[in-house]
Amino acid sequence: MLMSTDTIAVTQAEQVGAYILQLHFSDGTTQRVDFEPFLSASHHPLIRRYLAPTEFARFRVTDGDLVWNDYDLCFPIADLYENHL
């Protein structure tokens, strides 16, 4: 369980599947997160657009956060750390 989000950050993200990212955190923890269930369940067009493989692949790590585009998608660090979207 994540104790404090103030000290944990995403340091690296690698795509390892169609919608799966291997996330590396500042405390040395790694987590494989599958974003497909979240994306598929959404009815919002700005979120569903990331079901397009080229759009999903445009993620980046900025200031310890995992983001897409201009923060169109950004998840709480605790949720990513615990693999609970």
Domains of the chain with bracketed CATH: 10-81 (3.30.2020.10)
Q: Would you state the pLDDT for residue 6?
A: 60
pLDDT digits (tens, 9 = 90+) for 28-75: 999 999 999 999 999 999 999 999 999 999 999 999 999 999 888 999
d(CA 3, CA 8): 9
Q: Is the pLDDT of residue 1 over 70?
A: no
Helix (H, G, I), strand (E, B) or coil at 38: helix
Q: Which of 55, 60, 56, 50 is nearest to 12 (CA)?
A: 60
Q: How much is the pTM? A: 0.89
d(CA 27, CA 51): 30
Neighbours of 48 (CB within 10 A): 14
